[in-house]
A = this chain, B = another copy of it.
Amino acid sequence: MNFSSKLLEDAVNEFSKLPGVGQKTALRLVLHLLNKEKEEVNLFGNTLIRLKAEIKNCNICRNISDHVICEICSSNKRDKETICVVEDTRDVMAIENTGQYFGVYHVLGGLISPMDGVGPADLFIDGLVDRVAAGGVKEIILALSPNMEGDTTLFYLYKRLKEFNVPITTIARGIAFGGELEYTDEITLGRSIITRVPYETAMMK
């Protein structure tokens, strides 16, 4: 692209580094910002700078937080004896949005993926083992995405955690609510037959 201004070009380049943002989209976003008031653009810029400078990861669960200990870990309304292990902050937000979970979390910061060069040492797994080893945990819920990396991580965590004799569960896999049986893929449908549950368990809760 032929830019009429170096400042414009710099801003477009910064935006186009973001995932899913190409040069044309970046230009559209920058021209949108140029039409805004100076205060609004300054707020945008300063919010990003403050974000990176001041944000923390909770010392206990590694969730993104404004404080050294996050709100969930420091709340006395949450059940500290149940730990839900997730990949990242988005999963914490998704589970919190369900309003169905009242325990605490443990954010791994990724999944084991040899293809991408991510091994167990790159994740916050030792921290989880330490939490369980310290005692007082009654259940560990592994809530990882049902894909290759998720299953690899699940297996690794199970091996590391089973010695503590704490019940380890995973979130249920099967046909999504509102889904059509005939359009469900064979693996999901096949597994959901194998892991069928008593009617009372499935419907009465």
Contact = CB atoms under 8 A, between A and B. Distances in A.
Interface of A: 1-8, 10-11, 14, 17-21, 25, 27-34, 36, 38, 41-55, 63-66, 70-72, 88-90, 92-93, 96-97
Given A1-B97, A47-B10, A34 B19 contact: no
Contacts of A53: 38
A3 B49 contact: no
A1 to B, nearest CB: 6
Contacts of A44: 14, 17, 45, 48
B49 A41 contact: yes
Contact of A34 (B10, B20, B51): B51
Contact of A7 (B1, B11, B14, B50): B50
B48 A90 contact: no
Nearest to A28: B19
Given A4-B71, A48-B48, 14 more contacts: A4-B63, A4-B70, A7-B50, A14-B47, A21-B29, A31-B90, A34-B55, A38-B53, A44-B45, A44-B48, A45-B45, A45-B47, A45-B49, A46-B49
